[in-house]
Every structure is written in C-alpha cells, then in structure tokens.
C-alpha cells in the first residue's frame, strides 16, 4: 500500500473533490439578473480536511502553506463579511489581489462558525488551471466545503455547497460574482442559473463534445468585471446587450434539452459577438474561435470573464481532435473535455505525494 493511500485512509481525514466548469452561454449577463448556462467538465480540485484538538488552522496548497488560529480565521471571515455588507468592492479587490488564499480562508471561517471545531488542517490540490475560465476557485471552495462538513460529521446539501463556493468567488472576483461557477461545480452536469432562481439542472439529450483552448493571456476576473462596469456606466445602452444574451440562453437551454447541437453552436457564436460588444473579447480569443469554426466546430466563444483565458468550441461527432489541432496551431493550448461530469462529493482518491508529506506534520 502506498504512503498516499495510507494517508488517505487515516481516521479523521476526509478527501472531497469538485469539477471544473465552462460557461456555455451567459457570462456577464448573469451578474445582471439574466440566465446563464454552464457545464461541469473533467478536471477536478481536491481538498482534504482533518479536525484538530488544538485551536490551530493549517492550510497547505500549491500557492502557499499557511498556519494560524481558528480565532484569526473567523475574524478574517467576519471582516470580509463587513466589506460585503458595505459593498466595499475596492477593499475586496485589494484583498483578492494581495492574498491568494483569501477566498479559502473566508469560506473556511464561515464553515468553522457553522461547524465549531477547536482546529482544522486543510490540504488542497487541483488539476484546474488558475485564472483561465475553468472555475478553479469555485471548485476548490466547493471541495473544501464538502470535506470540512464531513470531517465534522455533518453534511451539506448541494445547494449549500454551491452557496459556500459562491461566497469564495465574491472575494476572488472583487465583490462581483454570480453563483454560476459554484453551482456547476457543486451540482455537476449542465446547470441553468439566475441570481433570482438559483441553479436548475438541465437534462442533457446528447453528449456535448467540447474543446477548450487556452489563449495564454491571463486576465483577472476582478479587473475584467471592473472594466465592464465602467463601460456600462459610460454607455448605458450597453445594458441591452445583457438582455440579448439572456434571450440566447433561454434558447440554448431548450437546444441542450432537445439535443439540437447545431442550434446550440449558432447560439454560442451569437453570444461571442455580443461579448465582443462589451469589450471582453481579445484578438487571441477571436483567433482561436475562428480557427475552431474553420475546422468544423459548430460554435465557439470565450468562457469565463474574458480578456484572455479559454475559448470553448462545440464539436460535431468525431471532430474534436481536428478542432483541437486547429486551435493549437492558432496559438492555443487545447484540451478535449468530458462535459456533464459529477459534482462535488467525498472522494476516495488522495492528494498527491508533494502535498501529502505536509499533512499531519
């Protein structure tokens, strides 16, 4: 038995995982009470949790190793809650920019208040690229929520997991975030989401064959959101774009449920054109989308906040490899995705050896 397997089976250690996501349609509109559509995809983030009998908090991740106390984590969480209550977006953006573990610590503080413990030890690993539109932060905090609850001999509903994940995104995205990412990560499958109604699973009548290609351009979601807010403030007519995006999403939900993939592809192309109108596309995004369409993709668009990050392409059967090769030749780093995978759950898998060696020391 490997050391990692032994570690994963230690009494009191719980490991949970959550998937990445892509936004099929609706980014930016969703922050303005319009619907959006997202799918959970293959790569996953994993988190382990173990309750301690001392007032100590230890967080191990590829970003940092941090040690503190339960009191300090709860105090930080309450301070972030104050910022949110006062809509202090500038303060939240500063926190997101200068404190990479802030979303994790904020969610963990809420969990400690929900499930009081003396202390807790957390380890995080993720296959999901950061800042590329795959919802890496939401996947981490959804996995964290499931692991901590189970380590405390409790359970959360999938909607509660999504809510905790969303609160982490509020910090990571500088005070502006919908629950779309966390809903897809928590529930899995394909999810329709609105701010007013929350998440709703959408039946998947036909497999979604997707390719994601990374532009290689990193753009902070908080900065892109602020840019969109400024553009709308300068020209209020741009608000009509969000309404048009919402209309496309309604048609896309019906297309997914009916298996009408060609229609879904056309709607994705239309969504991309509207996103370009609000200034969140880029030359790199347009180049990859054009390459995908030229190779036979049914539709292609940015996924996430934009400004960079990934482009997703919907493919006809047996064309994924050709589309991926074309997007790579156009300058992207391309991956064929499995769409509609399972959501956040306790995981029998274990953390990698590099993180395992820190756990329990």
Helices (H), the chain: 3-8, 70-85, 89-98, 102-114, 136-151, 158-172, 180-187, 221-234, 239-258, 261-277, 283-294, 320-329, 353-356
* Tokens found for residue 340: 């509609």
Catalytic residue, candidates 87, 99, 118, 181: 181
Read off the DSSP letter of residue 61: -
Q: Rounded to whole angstroms, how far apart are CA atoms 271 and 291?
A: 17
Q: Rounded to whole angstroms, how far apart are CA atoms 271 and 294?
A: 18
Q: 213: Cβ–Cβ under 8 A, 6 or more apart, which residues? A: 288, 292, 310, 311, 313, 324, 327, 328, 330, 332, 333, 334, 335
Q: Rounded to whole angstroms, how far apart are CA atoms 176 and 220?
A: 12
Q: 231: Cβ–Cβ under 8 A, 6 or more apart, which residues? A: 238, 278, 279
* Tokens found for residue 256: 């997914």
Q: Which residues is 334 bridged to in the sheet?
A: 213
- The question of whether 53 is a catalytic residue gets the answer no
Q: Residue 142: how many CB atoms within 10 A of its CB?
A: 37
CB 49 within 8 A of CB 14: yes
Q: Which residues are catalytic?
A: 181
């Amino acid at each position: 038995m490997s050391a990692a397997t032994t570690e994963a089976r230690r009494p009191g250690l719980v490991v949970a995982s959550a998937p990445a996501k892509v936004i099929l349609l609706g980014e930016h509109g969703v922050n303005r009470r319009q619907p959006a559509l997202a799918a959970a995809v293959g790569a996953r983030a994993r988190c382990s949790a173990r309750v301690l009998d001392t007032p100590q908090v230890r967080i191990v991740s590829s970003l940092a190793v941090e040690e503190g106390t339960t009191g300090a984590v709860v105090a930080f969480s309450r301070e972030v809650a104050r910022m949110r209550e006062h809509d202090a977006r500038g303060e939240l953006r500063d926190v997101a920019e200068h404190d990479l573990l802030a979303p994790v610590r904020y969610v963990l503080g809420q969990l400690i208040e929900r499930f009081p413990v003396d202390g807790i030890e957390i380890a995080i690993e993720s296959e999901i690229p950061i800042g590329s539109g795959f919802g890496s932060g939401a996947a981490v905090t959804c996995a964290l929520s499931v692991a901590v609850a189970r380590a405390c001999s409790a359970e959360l509903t999938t909607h509660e997991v999504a809510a905790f994940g969303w609160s982490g995104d509020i910090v990571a995205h500088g005070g502006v975030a919908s629950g779309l990412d966390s809903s897809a990560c928590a529930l899995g499958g394909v999810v329709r989401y609105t701010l007013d109604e929350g998440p709703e699973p959408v039946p998947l009548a036909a497999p979604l064959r997707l390719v994601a290609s990374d532009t290689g351009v990193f753009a902070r979601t908080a900065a892109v959101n602020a840019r969109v807010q400024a553009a709308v403030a300068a020209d209020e007519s741009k608000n009509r774009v969000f309404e048009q995006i919402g209309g496309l999403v309604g048609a896309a939900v019906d297309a997914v449920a009916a298996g009408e993939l060609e229609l879904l592809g056309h709607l994705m192309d239309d969504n991309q054109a509207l996103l370009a109108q609000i200034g969140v596309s880029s030359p790199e995004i347009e180049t990859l989308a054009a390459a995908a369409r030229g190779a036979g993709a049914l539709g292609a668009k940015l996924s996430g906040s934009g400004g960079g990050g990934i482009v997703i392409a919907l493919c006809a059967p047996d064309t994924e490899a050709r589309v991926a090769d074309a997007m790579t030749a156009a300058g992207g780093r391309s991956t064929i995705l499995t769409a509609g995978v399972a959501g956040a759950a306790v995981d029998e898998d274990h953390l990698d050896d590099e993180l395992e060696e820190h756990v329990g020391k």
